[in-house]
Amino acid sequence: MTWLSHIRHASKITHSRWQAVSTQLRKFSLSNQIHSEVRVRFAPSPTGHLHLGGLRTALYNFLFAKSNNGKFILRIEDTDQARLVPQAARKLEDILNWSNIPPDESPLLSGPRGPYVQSERIELYQKHIQTLLENGSAYKCFCTDTRLDLLRKDALRRRETPKYDNRCRSLSFAKIEEFEKQGRAHCIRFKLEDITEPFNDLVYGPILYNVAQQEGDPVLLKSDGFPTYHFANVVDDHLMEVTHVLRGVEWQISTPKHLLLYKAFGWEPPQFGHLPLIKNRDGTKLSKRQGDLHIERLRAQGYSPEAIINFVTDIGGGFEDRDQCMTDDCGGTD
């Protein structure tokens, strides 16, 4: 059965199905919560159309917020200016509203923790990067693209994973002043530390990944003044008082890096839960490049939001009976 035939088979979402998913989401621990209100966010990049996987992430965040009387936030992460697609951000919010999972705070709605577009928050990132420079958690890196490319090629030649060698971490103040007087371009990197304790993933349980042994010091602020995903993500989640981060499992490996950033700032981190990937029948990851699975295209083909949401719920809800579609009359089947 193809993806589209599965969606055709999924006719109507029901109150009982929503309750079932909400009940499963309530299993996420609410302990160690520093805010009285649950706040979650969906933070897509406006680089194309919203895909089924992205819609499922938004849905689970929405359901978790509503099942705990919390807030569902839409934040647009557009710091990768080279890949922006015109009007994509507005279309993302339109699709969420059409899908009946509207945000409580967003670029269009605004809210108390805005702005909700990262390119409009550049001054905040530049202010917070100074905190890390002053407390010694970050440093200026003057390595050129040519040097970084040579490092990458050398690692590949030796069949190793390319990573930065942290060369500029040990630069003296005198050398930094010299480079700055010469007008050399620089980025700002974060000093990774060894991690010996696992973090608790709300879905997968304890996860231990010593990022400092696997990666070089990551860039936080690029030479053009724009933040990287990792830095902006942590700053925004803190300032927007996000209590739970529910995102795809592909970001699980980045969580230790984010937790180190929270530690460097002296901030209490949110709780993290990572959602398993949606896969094709052959076990490969469902790709954004599978154009027939863009929500806009499904909408244009006449599929109802109820059918699409029912399908996304079914493939991600852990239900044993995958062949039944709920109706909205007391949870009966078609």
Enumerate the active-site residues: 288
Strand order from edge to edge, sheet including 138-141: 138-141, 187-190, 219-221
Q: Are 190 and 218 in contact (CB under 8 A)?
A: yes
Please tell me what DSSP assigns to residue 318: T
Residue linked to tokens 């993500």: 233
β 205-207/199-201 pair status: antiparallel
Strand order from edge to edge, sheet including 244-248: 205-207, 199-201, 271-275, 244-248
CA distances from 102 to 63, 127, 233 (A): 11, 32, 21
CA 250 to CA 222: how far, in whole Å? 23
Q: Which of 314, 244, 293, 284 is nearest to 54 (CA)?
A: 293
Q: Where are the beta strands (DSSP E) in 12-160?
A: 39-42, 71-74, 138-141
| Start-to-end CA span in the chain (Å) | 18
Which tokens hold the place of 63?
């359901």
Q: Are 60 and 27 in contact (CB under 8 A)?
A: no
184 sits in the region (left: phi over 0; alpha: psi -120 to 50; else beta) called: beta
> Exposure pattern of 14-40 as b/e (b: 16+ CB <10 Å)?
beebbebbeebbeebeeeeeeeeebbb
CA 270 to CA 33: how far, in whole Å? 8
